[in-house]
Structure 1
């Protein structure tokens, strides 16, 4: 592995994370947030182009003589799509569950603060939102078991 193959991915990761520093510090306005969103989008496409260039230029992760390591990770396109489908099922269901819980939990807290008898009813809606993520994980497990 040469120095370029070692330092370039680390540099790309640093460049992607730089626009978020002030967001995490809480020192941003709406205009700055839009600028950071544009920077992240352009960084994403820059990373995508970098990976395409790595593939075109023939950079190799494994040593030239290590044929067994390369053959052990080779799979079919269908397997790759299956793993991608499993990842998307988990990720998108977790995203949907996060949105559902983000809407249901504050409402549940508000209902509980007004009347303590509403606790059980309100927690059911929060649990239903989290159930979406569990269903996504189960679908992912079923997809991976078929591969």
Structure 2
């Protein structure tokens, strides 16, 4: 569990980095000064981001092997269920992408020729999107059945 220091420190650092940019956004600084400040602050932001990730990684690495083994306990059936859920979501999204890639340009073409074709053509695009939603629902059902 994170304590108050670990929660507030990144927020304070981001505010301290962003505070000097207020004059830049108000237009009180020249373009060259603004460009240098933006580059400097972006570099500071990513440095703090990397520092936060490094801090979290060292804290997680300090956990003992027994704690990790207890947290990762699960059966082979549970792991295969999660893999099946991932495959159902991924493959249904891939199929929906292929369907929409074929139906959407045809729908736009039909609509550009005759405005009355809009409703008919959007039905086919929505059917392609429905495939992804059904795959996501199946994966959610699989995950809740395995937990």
Normalization by structure 2: what TM-score? 0.56
Q: CA deviation at 1:62?
A: 5.2
Provide the secondary structure at the position in 2 that maps to 1:75.
Answer: coil
Q: CA deviation at 1:70?
A: 2.1
1-structure distance, mates of 2:91, 2:130: 13
1:1-147 residue pairs with structure 2 within 5 A? Answer: 65-147=64-146
Structure 2 residue runs of 5 or longer lacking an equivalent are: 1-59
Match of 1:8 in 2: none
Q: Per-residue displacement from partner, 1:47-77 (whole Å, max 9, x unpaired)?
A: xxxxxxxxxxxxxx95683311221112110
Change over 3 Å in CA distance of 1:75–1:117 after alignment to 2: same
Greater Cα radius of gyration, structure 1 or 2:
2
Structure 1 residue runs of 5 or longer lacking an equivalent are: 1-60
2-structure distance, mates of 1:64, 1:126: 49
Provide the secondary structure at the position in 1 that maps to 2:74.
Answer: coil
Q: Per-residue displacement from partner, 1:63-118 (whole Å, max 9, x unpaired)?
A: 68331122111211000000000000000000000000000000000000000000
Change over 3 Å in CA distance of 1:67–1:121 after alignment to 2: same
Contact 1:90 1:137 in 2 (8 A): yes
2-structure distance, mates of 1:64, 1:108: 55
- The alignment's C-alpha RMSD in Å is 1.6
2-structure distance, mates of 1:116, 1:74: 58
Contact 1:97 1:130 in 2 (8 A): yes
Contact 1:62 1:69 in 2 (8 A): no
